[in-house]
Structure 1
Amino acid sequence: MSTTNNYAGIPDQFAQLETAKVILIPVPYDGTSTWGKGADKGPEAFLKASENMELYDIETATEPYQQGIYLADAITEDSSPEAMVNEVHKTTKQYIKRNKFVTLFGGEHSVSIGTIRAFNECFSNLTVLHIDAHADLRESYDGTKFNHACAVHEASQHTNLIQVGIRSMDVIEKTYMDEEKTFFAHDMSTDEYWVDKVVDLMTENVFITFDLDALDPSIMPSTGTPEPGGLFWYETLEFLKQVFEEKNVVGFDIVELCPNAVDKSSDFLAAKLYYKMLSYKFMGQSIDETYDNTYDVDLKSGNSNISKFEEDED
C-alpha cells in the first residue's frame, strides 16, 4: 500500500498541479444505476489497483507517469443526479481551461453527461467516441434526463457521436441513433475493417467515454450491467492506439467499474486500461516537452457554446 496520496503512489515531483500535464478526477457516484450497485466504489478500487501496477509500459517503452498526473479531489456531490452532473461539468471545464489533459474515473455513466458537456464547450467540432455495450440514448429514464441510461443523449444532439461495441438497447433509442455512426458488436465480429471505418468518421478533436461493460464479461465481470459478446483486451488496445495516433484525443473518462471482494482482476484491468490510454496519448512526446491541448478560441473570447445548455458558471 502506498504511503502517498498520489495516483499510483508516484513521487511527489510528478503529482503537482502546476507541472502535471494530466488531471485525474475521481467521481464516486452511483445514484441512478438500476441493477448492479457499487460503481461508487469504482474509483477507490481503481486507485488501489494502480498502486500495485508496474509503471513502465513495454509496448511504448515509456513511463507515462513522468508526464505528471495530478489526482484531483473526488467529486462527491450526490444531492441529485442533476447536481452531480453540474459539478462534474464545472470542475472538468476549470481544469481544461488550465490547459491540462483532463481524465475522469467514475462512477456510473451519468457522470459523462457533465464531462462531455464541458469538453464540447471547449473544443471545436468535437467527436465523442462512445465505447459501450449499451446505447445510453434515452432522453430520460426513471424521471430524470441525468440517468446512466441517458449518458450520451445530449452528445447525440450536439456532437459528432460515434458508438462502438453496442449490443443492448431499447427500441425507443433508435429514435436518436445514427446507425451510420453506430458499430454493433455482432457486425464488428465479422468486419475486419471496422477500426478504420470508425476512425474515418471522426473529426480531429476526439473525446473518449469508455464504459467498461464494452469489454467482454470474461475479462471484465465487475460491471453493473455485463453483456456477453464484448471486446477483448488486445483488439481494444489496437483500436485505441490507432485513434490516439490519428486524431487529437482531448480527454477521456472511464466508468462503470463495480468492484467485488472476491475477484480483483477487473480493478487491475481498469487500472491498466487507464495507464495504456495515457501511454498512447504521450508516446511521441518527451517528458519536458510543453503540453499543448489548445481549447476552442471562442471560449477564450467569451463566446463559447455554453448557452446552448443554459448552464451558468461560477
Structure 2
Amino acid sequence: MPFNFCGLPEQFCTFENSAVVLLPVPFDETSTWLKGADKGPEAIIEASRHLELYDRETNTEVYRKGICTEHALIATGSEPMITEVHAKTDKLIRQGKFVVAVGGEHSISIGAISAHSAFYQDMAVLHLDAHADLRDEYEGSKYNHACTVTRIKETVDTVVSVGIRSMDSSEREKIDERLVLYADLVHENNDWITETLAVLPKHVYVTIDLDVFDPGIMPSTGTPEPGGLDWYQVIRLLKAVSKHRVITGFDVVELCPSDNKAPDFLAAKLIYKLLSYKFV
C-alpha cells in the first residue's frame, strides 16, 4: 500500500488530479512538556492507510476528489518554519488546491493561516484547543506554541476559540468573552454550536489542536488537559460550520504519538471526516 494519506493509488493522489493537498510539517522545537509532535504527521498518515474510505453519514467517498500528500516540510527554527509554511501554502492556494496542514506543534498554523488570510479578507479562524495560546512571548520566543493565537491575531481580526480550559492569568486579560466558548460551557449549554456560528463570518479557517479532545480519547498530546470535548461534540460543530459557512482550509496539530495507535487513528479519521463535510 502506498505511503500517502489513505494509502491511495496513483489515480487519486497525484498533484494534478487532486483537489486536496495534505502538507505535513513535522516541527517540534518549542513544545514545553511532552516532546514528539514532530512524529505526528507520519503517525497520522500511517493510521490513515487503515481508514474505511466510504463515509456513511455523508454517503461519499471523498478520496475520489483526489488527496495529494506533499513531501514533509522540514525547517529549523520557528521563524524560518513559519515563513516556509506561508510560502508553500500560498503557492498551493494559487494553484487552486484546498490545503490541510498537519503538525507538528501548533505554531505551524501561523504560516498556514497568514497565507489563507491574504486570499480571504473577511476570514475568521475557528480555534479548537484546550489552551488559550494568548501569551505574547514564552520561554524567550514570540513563536512558541503557547503564543500561536497572539500571532494569528496579527493577520486575522476574528479568532473564535472553543474548548478552552487552561490559561495563564496574563492570557485571561486578553480574552474576548464574546469569542470564547469554554469547555465547561460546551458541556452545559445545548445552544453552544448555534452561538459559535453566530460570531463566524462567511469564510472560516479551522485550526484543531488535538488536546481539545478529552484525554480519555486523545491522550497522545504534549499537554493533555482533563475535561475536554468528545468525538461527537467536535464532529457536530465541524459539520455545522461546513454546512453554514465556507471552510477555506484547516490544520490538525499536536499529536504526540505513543505505542497506543488509537489516537493516531482518531486524528486521521478527523481529517477525513472534515474533508467529507467540506466536499459533500
Q: TM-score range by the shorter chain?
A: over 0.9
**Does residue 115 in structure 1 map to residue 101 in structure 2?**
no
- 1:28 is aligned, of 11, 26, 29, to 26
Displacement of 1:19 in angstroms is 2.2
Verify: 1:88 aligned to 2:85, yes or no: yes
User: In the aligned structure 2, how far is the partner of 1:138 from the partner of 1:112?
Assistant: 16
- How large is the RMSD of aligned CA atoms in angstroms? 1.0
> Please, what TM-score do these two structures have when normalized by structure 2?
0.97
8 Å CA contact 1:88–1:115 kept in 2: the answer is yes
- Does 1:51 find its partner at 2:49? yes
Within the alignment, does 1:265 sit opposite 2:262 as a pair? Answer: yes
Structure 2 match to 1:194:
192
What does residue 166 of structure 1 align with? Answer: 164
**How is 1:1-314 mapped onto 2 (pairs within 5 angstroms)?**
2=1, 4-78=2-76, 80-157=77-154, 158-261=156-259, 263-283=260-280
Q: CA deviation at 1:273?
A: 0.4
Partner of residue 295, structure 1 = none
Residue 156 of structure 1: how far off its partner (Å):
2.8
Q: Which has the larger radius of gyration?
A: 1
- In structure 2, distance between residues paired with 1:13 and 1:223: 34
- Which amino acid in 1 is paired with 2:122? N
Instruction: Indicate if the aligned counterparts of 1:153 and 1:176 stay in contact, CA closer than 8 A.
Output: no
Secondary structure at the aligned position of 1:117 is classed as helix
Under a length normalisation based on structure 1, what TM-score does the superposition of the two structures give? 0.87
**What letter matches 2:248 in structure 1?**
V
Note if contact 1:6-1:12 (Cα within 8 Å) is conserved in structure 2: no
Question: Which letter does structure 2 place at the counterpart of 1:274?
Answer: I
Structure 1's consecutive aligned runs of 4 or more residues displaced over 6 angstroms after TM superposition are none
**Displacement of 1:9:** 1.2
Q: Secondary structure at the match of 1:221?
A: coil
8 Å Cα contact 1:164/1:182 also seen in 2: yes
What is the alpha-carbon distance in structure 2 between the residues aligned to residue 144 and residue 282 of structure 1? Answer: 38
Give structure 2 stretches of 5+ with no counterpart: none
CA contact (8 A) 2:4 2:49 kept: no
Q: Is the CA contact (8 Å cut-off) linking 1:211 and 1:254 kept in structure 2?
A: yes
Determine the C-alpha separation between the residues in 2 that align with 1:37 and 1:6. 24
Letter paired with 2:167:
M
Partners of 1:190 and 1:125 lie apart in 2 by 31
Question: Per-residue displacement from partner, 1:98-127 (whole Å, max 9, x unpaired)?
Answer: 111111110010111111111111212111
**Aligned-residue offset at 1:179:** 1.3
User: Could you say what secondary structure the match of 1:192 adopts?
Assistant: coil
Between the aligned residues of both structures, percent identity stands at 49
* Structure-2 separation of matches of 1:122 and 1:172: 32
Shift of 1:175: 3.3
Q: Which string of whole-angstrom CA distances, capped at 9 and with x for unpartnered residues, describes residues 147-167 of structure 1?
A: 100111122343211000000
Q: What amino acid is aligned across from residue 251 of structure 2 in structure 1? A: D
CA distance in 1, matches of 2:225, 2:16: 41
State how far apart, in whole Å, the 2-side matches of 1:129 and 1:114 are.
Answer: 16
Unpaired stretches in structure 1, ≥5 consecutive residues: 284-314
Write the distance in 2 (CA, Å) between the matches of 1:183 and 1:236.
13
Return the alpha-carbon distance in structure 1 between the equivalents of residues 142 and 105 of structure 2. 14
Aligned length: 279
